[in-house]
Structures are given as C-alpha cells and as structure tokens.
Amino acid sequence: MILKQRLMVCAAATALVAGAALPAAAAPWVRGYVVGQYEYAFRYGGRSDYSKGAFVEPGVDCPQGSSVFMASPEQTRIAIARQKWRSSQEIDWVTAPPGVEKVSTPGLTRRHIWARAMSYRGYARGIETYVNPWATDDPGQPEVNSRIGDGFNLDGKIKANDFISPDGEKGIDNALYRAWGCDAPWRGGGNATLDLRANDKMQEGLYTMVVRVSGNKDPLNDDDAVLEIGYSPDNIVKDARGGIAADYSYRILKSALYTKLKARIKNGVVETEQVEHLHSPRIAWFYDQTGDTNFAQGKVRLAMTADGLSATGMLGGYRNWRDLYAENTFAQDGGQQGTREHEDAVSLYYALRRNADGMLNPKTGRYDGISSAYRLKLAGAYVVDPDHPMEVPKLAQEEARKAAFEGIKQAVIKGAEARVPQDVPPGTTEASYPALEHEMDGLASREYFLKTLDRPHYAPKPKKPDQQVRNETPVIVAQDP
C-alpha cells in the first residue's frame, strides 16, 4: 500500500514537470500531512523582546494582564474570602495552613488544601462548584480587547464585535479567543503551558491527526480538490532533533473523527467548503479528553509550500461551549487546574456562556456554541488508507477514567440546565479527594480541615463475603449535612 502511494505521488509529480509541454490536462495528485502542532488560534499582543522575570507582558490584546487565580497566598485569600459563609479562621487557615511546613510535602499539601476549598464555593456549603459553576458568582475573567484575531467569517456577516484578521479580512468569528485569550496557560508567544503540554502529548503518542489533499489539476491551483482530515492510529515519527520527521506513512481512519470536504486551491492556499459538521480529533493532553471536536459549520484553510514538505493553517467552526469547559476543567480536576495553571474554571465557564455566538437552541433561546479556530502546523507525509476498515482504538486501562470524564460533563450540563446542584460522579479526582486526606498525614491542623472543608461523599457498594473494603468501588450519594 505504501509503495503504491509513493508511486502515485511520483507519477503525479512527473506529469506536472512535463506539463509545460502538454495541454491543460494534468494527472491526479495527492499530498499528505501529519499535524505536528495543534492549538487554539489565539494571538499574543505583547512585544517579542519583552523580558521581566517569568511574567508575560500585558500587551494590546490583554491590557489588564493574564489570569492570576491562586498564583500566590494573597490571590488565594481573595478567592476564598468571596464566600461570605466562611469564617475568618477558615480563610486564614486555608490561606496559610498551620504546620504545613513540617509535613513531608508542604507545597503539595498546601495546593490540595487550596484546591479542596476552591472546589466548594457555591451559594451554600456542600455544592461542588466546578461541577456546578453556575451556583456561584462570576469571579470575572480578563477578556481580549484587541480587534485583531485569527479565524473565519463563519456566519457570512460583518458585526461590530467581530475581529479583523491580520491580513485585513473583516467579520472574523473567534469568540473563544475573546473569552479565553487572556487565560494564563493559553497565553504566550508560542510558549503557553497548555499549548506546550497538549502538543507534547500528541507528539509522544496520545493521538495522531493527518490531512490528505488531492485533485486532478495542479497541487497549487485546483478548483476541484478534496481535503480529508482525520485520526491516524500510527504514532508521530520524530527526527534526530526532536522535530516531526517528513515522508513517513500514516493510515487515516474513515470512521469517527474523519471528514471529507470539497476544496479550492489558489496559489497553494486550500480553502474548503463549510460543512454542517466537521469531525476531527480534539485537543487533549490526557486520554479521557480525546475524542471528536465536532465543529458545527466547520471549514479548513491550509497554506501548502510549493514542495509539499510542510503546511500551516486553521480549522474552525462553532463548538459546544459546555464541551470546551469540560475538556479543559476535568482532564484532571478543576482544583488542580486552578493551583497549577492559575486559571479559574468558574470564570472560564461564565466567559464561555457570555460570549457564545452560535448554534442557537430553539428550546432555550440561548446559544450552545461558541465560534472557534484551531491553528495547525503540518509536516509532509504519506497518508494512506488502511488495509481493512478500522475504528479508533481504545485503551482498556483508561476507559473507566474516560467514562468518569463523560459522566462529569453530563452532570455539568444537567445542573446548568435545571439549576439543581449535581453531586460529583464517582471515578473522578474532583476536590482533591482522597488525595488531600493522604497528603495531610502529620499536619497539625489536619482534623480542623477534615471537619471544616466540604468533600465528595460516597458509600461503598454491598461487600461480597471475600472482598476487602479497600477493593470496593465508591458510588456517589447525597452530601452529608
């Protein structure tokens, strides 16, 4: 199969070289690519020469700066003090846990205490607010103020709040950038922490994404081309310097996470049709996040180099904003994202809801989608069909965690629609449970935190006669009073 593909590409190239002496007719051609970088199409409005320690310059896109949630004890105190039902002692002790420096892992213990407290900040005690973000006030997310943004004009209109592309196109719809572009782990000059993490995990084998472009005229100018985008079961191959190696073969699966689109190519720029649903792999850094982007009204644009060795571009459309919230928040849990990435998922939830601009729900009268664009950098490859039909493979050892991820996403949707607080589904690590209980061994204030801070409560399944308690799988029950 691989040899056949190589011969077809070579034949097409030979025909093109000889084309100068032939009439307008040309041979079929194919170009394949593997995605090496895949991230939200956010811009960075700061100066490239700016250097001030570990800080990122505010820049014209985020003049108020990036999010600083739980970046220091002072910021943590601000977040904790917003809950009027907390006592002054609880605020003081959570901010600076007494005796924490004497435990074996003081930094980790402090982080888990902060995460536990931040997981419960609803209008009343006992409401886990990463699962129920609507149940607390909007803490406020700094949003992008710039008029310049990457993306597509998805609705065919030019509205007052739309972005203008760097090359001057008006009407650009990328409300996700406006909502999340100032979120610290997604912001930076090519070095945003979650961009780096997601790309690293993709390149190390979490998933692979490929693109194949074909036609019957000229690879750089063809008004009747086809673009295919989808998942590959083959791991990305790197070169000796850690870059994405060119000219390796990857299978493309025509099942889930796959879309075939009509396209036009002009001077090497591929512009696809806009389709009702565009399926492709989603950004992820853990297996539980992996799956289908499912862009509504989606399209792709690629700029191919003349030699076919690389390409850059974007894909975009409207994504269900609840899916985006879940994918970002529950890859591990909301508290870890807050203490490690210094982003507040509750603020991100409100920013998504506030900026939603597509997929109007006729039942609620509200938008379920938010316009989005993802940036691609691709290396030349041979993209081939598998010898037999295949589905996206599953990792059996990770399926329970993936099921928990889907369960918590459904709990978020159900709670937000019904305005009824939902319990934390089993199988998650929300509220640092039971990690905090282990990390507080030897902490002088341990009993105070166990008594004061809320946590998920589970009851064991009925025990079999020969089954030890430690082997039981917890199931969710109502929060203790």
Asked whether residue 449 falls in the same domain as residue 337, the answer is: no
- Asked whether residue 198 falls in the same domain as residue 300, the answer is yes
292 and 369 together in one domain: yes
Supply the pLDDT for residue 354: 97
Neighbours of 227 (CB within 10 A): 25
Q: Does residue 134 sit within a domain?
A: no
Of 391, 424, 444, the position where a domain reaches its end is 391
What total number of domains does the chain contain?
2
Among residues 197, 411, 180, 213, the alpha carbon closest in space to that of 284 is found at: 197
Can you tell me the distance from the alpha carbon of 252 to that of 328, in angstroms, rounded to the nearest whole number?
26
Q: Is 376 found in the same domain as 261?
A: yes
CA distance 359 to 296: 8
* Cα–Cα dist 313/253, whole Å: 21
Amino acid at 369: G
Domain identity same for 309 and 190: yes
d(CA 353, CA 368) in angstroms, rounded, equals 8
Tell me, yes or no, whether 53 lies in a domain.
no
Do 245 and 331 lie in a common domain?
yes
pLDDT the model gives residue 239: 94
Find, among 35, 84, 66, the residue nearest to 198 by Cα: 35
Q: What's the gap between Cα 305 and its chain centre?
A: 28
DSSP state of 221: B
For 13-100, strand residue ranges (E) read: 29-40
From residue 124, alpha-carbon distances to 235, 238, 349, 365, 454 in Å are 48, 52, 19, 29, 11
Asked if 248 and 232 count as a contact pair (C-beta separation under 8 A), the reply is: no
Using the 3D structure, point to which of 326, 356, 391 is the last residue of a domain.
Answer: 391
Give the end of a domain, one of 373, 391, 409: 391
Question: What's the pLDDT score for residue 59?
Answer: 80
- Is residue 275 one of the residues assigned to a domain? yes
Pairing of strands 474-476, 367-384: unpaired
Q: What is the DSSP letter of 105?
A: -
For 117, other C-beta atoms within 10 Å of its C-beta total 27
Annotate 304-339 with b (16+ C-beta within 10 A) or e (fewer).
Answer: beeebebbebbbbbbbbbbbbbbbbbbbbbbbbbbb
- Are 352 and 286 found together in one domain? yes
**Beta 458-460 vs 367-384: how paired, if at all?**
unpaired
Q: Would you state the pLDDT for residue 479?
A: 37
Global pTM value: 0.89
Q: Which residues contact 302 (CB under 8 A, 6 or more apart)?
A: 33, 211, 213, 227, 269, 270, 311, 312, 313, 376, 378
pLDDT value of position 17: 41
**Spans of the chain below 70 pLDDT:** 1-25, 48-57, 189-190, 459-481
Could you tell me the two tokens for 144?
Answer: 């992008």
Distance CA 260, CA 254 (A): 9
Task: Specify if 181 maps to a domain.
Answer: yes
What's the full length of the chain, in residues? 481
Q: Compute how many other C-beta atoms are within 10 angstroms of the C-beta atom of residue 430.
A: 26
Instruction: Let me know if residue 198 belongs to a domain.
Output: yes
CA distance 296 to 369: 8
Instruction: Find, among 130, 118, 128, 133, the residue nearest to 86 by Cα.
Output: 118
In this structure, the number of other CB atoms found within 10 A of the CB of residue 229 comes to 29
| DSSP H/E element including 199 | helix 193-203
pLDDT (0 to 100) of residue 408: 96
pLDDT in the model for residue 460: 67
Query: Chain-centre distance of CA 55, in angstroms?
Result: 23
Amino acid, res. 475:
V
pLDDT in tens, 148-164: 999 999 999 999 999 99
Does a structural domain hold residue 108? yes
Q: Is there a domain that residue 191 lies in?
A: yes
Question: In terms of domains, do 115 and 252 share one?
Answer: no
Q: Which domain holds residue 340?
A: 30-48+141-391
Query: For the segment 106-164, what is each residue's pLDDT rounded down to a tens digit?
Result: 999 999 999 999 999 999 999 999 999 999 999 999 999 999 999 999 999 999 999 99
Considering the domain architecture, whether residues 324 and 292 belong to the same structural domain is answered as yes
Extended strands (E) in 167-253:
208-215, 222-232, 249-251
Same domain? 306 vs 377:
yes
Question: Element (H or E) spanning 178, and its range?
Answer: helix 175-180
19 inside domain: no
Say if residue 79 is in the same domain as residue 221.
no
Contact 70, 336 (CB under 8 A): no
Question: Do both 124 and 207 map to the same domain?
Answer: no
